[in-house]
Structure 1
């Protein structure tokens, strides 16, 4: 079987699956100073309507996709995934980062950060959502391709803590430079997450609207008062007040989508946040605070993110100036 010819920065890898399960695909990674491990496997895949062989000289079964800067190939099956481990000075520990790409043969793709919930980490979060399969399916369905990047945030609720553990600084000063070195587009991002990570994605946009242009939050873990918050979510009442999302207006220039199940304990605050943030998209149907609901919301969230990260249409050139008739 002919292989997809990598772009000038791209290397295709193959290795065993994550122990967590459903993370798959042949993996592309670029040279950096971090230890990287590729993953391969099949979370679903199979033949898809409209798939064609040898698209653009790529692998059989691939389909063509426009990236805004040209055409890339979406292989059949799950998206390609790579896992990198690096020492985070901001968090004072080794952390994992999982990069999920639905295409091969493309550089300069936009990025959506994926912030996990409490008790998860980057590779488990990818597996929990079935993100490798969902992202590839979205790209094959016509969603503008982008790379999803999951990273370990511990149980910090994605904000600086009194202990010195600072996942926000890790994202800004350690994760984004690594992604830039890999040839990804990091000046205009989206963020998505569930539970603790849903709150973290909303908070990141609130604090950095110059960077984050869209947020898709599932069941964001938020409380109206410090005393009602989960144990360990904040260091103090002052820490809670400094990192509130509820009761705040939308960040300028940020598009919001919020999803929450009607049986979820965060349903009322999610509805409140959707109203306060003027969410342009929202999904409030049956479901609870669990992966089943988060996976059900994922296709619409990926489409929302793809629209937000799509390259702006080039303005039409002005018509030629009319010239006065001679005579």
Structure 2
């Protein structure tokens, strides 16, 4: 069924959604191999760009699928935003990691991602597919209670995308606030998988005591998943954006220097969707360049 998304103050998805519920999923993908190792995320990596047709007018196509995540112990939604029609074989993927209090669908609406991605590709950016998934409020890493959004990405999301013909052997990650931290963490822990990170206002703290309540289980959990103060991951390109009025401004500047971010922007703005939407076009262009196929 086609479901219209109403306009909201936080932003709205302008296009149509094709919603597949848990009772009507089609081709949800193969069962994930245990452990989520390399075999769980292999897909073809063509040397040249696939033959696709860019959406000529209007927003990109938004598809929502639900599946039961064993890693998270609950049913989650995965939202795929594609600026191309027809077969998606070989198109690369950019994971979109939402902030605290959001989910996959609200995150796509928050950024008006369907419109922004279509505009970027029509303007000449190399096509890629943006994929958002529900990560809860676990700060994108395994928690003591068993919720593990990182394992969900590796062992459940990527095999489903590979089954659709998408290229998942090397991808990008984009996120804001909690999701910005999550994108940086994913690259740090899996540099063989993540080629580029675009982080807006990444939620980072210098000490466990300064962190937001519930962000980490303990001081040991904080230390095991630390991003601030770490060097860049080998082979990963970084872009960091943060407004001068954002509480994470100082740590974002510090992280951009530590990670030798090739692109950064620290202009006016706060910790809000207005700034994140304003930063998005440059971030999408950055991701497109990082994921573009090598010339044949």
1:84 corresponds in structure 2 to: 65
Cα pair distance change 1:236/1:122, threshold 3 Å: same
Cα distance between partner residues in 2 of 1:120 and 1:212: 23
1:31 and 1:156 mapped to 2: Cα distance?
A: 29
Deviation at 1:17, TM superposition (A): 2.3
Q: 1:19 Cα shift?
A: 5.5
Q: 2:77 aligns with which of 89, 93, 96?
A: 96
Distance, in Å, in 2 between the alignment partners of 1:237 and 1:26 is 44
Q: Distance in 2 between matches of 1:32 and 1:301?
A: 31
SS at match of 2:94: strand
1:247 and 1:180 map into 2 onto residues whose CA distance is 34
**How much does 1:20 deviate?**
7.1
Aligned to 1:165: 147
Alignment match, 1:131: 113
Cα distance in structure 2, aligned partners of 1:19 and 1:27: 12
The answer on 1:206 being equivalent to 2:196 is no
> 1:225-244 alignment to 2 at 5 Å?
225-244=207-226
1:33 Cα deviation after fit? 3.4
Higher relative contact order (CA 8 A, sep 6+): 2
Instruction: State the Cα deviation string for residues 42-91 of structure 1 (Å, max 9, x = none).
Output: xxxxxxxxxxxxxxxxxxxxxxxxx8123423231010000011100000
TM normalised by structure 2 equals 0.87
TM-aligned CA deviation for residue 26 of structure 1: 5.0
Backbone CA RMSD of aligned residues: 1.7
Task: Please point out which of 68, 71, 79 is paired with 2:49.
Answer: 68
> Which structure dedicates a bigger proportion of its chain to helix?
2
Partner of 2:230: 248
Query: Could you tell me which residue of structure 1 aligns to residue 169 of structure 2?
Result: 187
Q: Secondary structure at the match of 1:217?
A: strand
SS where residue 86 of structure 1 aligns? strand
- Structure with the greater alpha carbon radius of gyration: 1
Pairwise CA distance, 1:218 = 0.1
Asked if the contact 1:20/1:127 (under 8 Å) is kept, the reply is no
Are the aligned partners of 2:177 and 2:203 in contact in 1 as well (CA < 8 Å)? yes
**Equivalent-residue separation in structure 1 for 2:60 and 2:283 (angstroms):** 17
State the 1:106 CA deviation: 3.6
Q: 1:127 to 1:294 in 2, by over 3 A?
A: same
In structure 2, what is the equivalent of residue 279 of structure 1? 261
1:157-212 deviation line (CA, Å, top 9, x unaligned): 00000000000000000000000111111001000000000000000000000000
Q: Does 1:310 align with 2:295?
A: no
TM-score by length of 1: 0.79
State the number of aligned residues. 269
* 1:293 CA drift (Å): 0.1
Structure 2 CA distance for aligned equivalents of residues 33 and 199 of structure 1: 28
Kept in 2: contact 1:258–1:279 (CA 8 A): yes
> Which runs of 5 or more residues in structure 1 are unaligned?
1-13, 35-66, 315-327
SS of residue matched to 2:214? coil
Q: Is the 8 A contact 1:20 1:123 kept in 2?
A: no
Output the CA distance in 1 between the equivalents of 2:7 and 2:139: 22
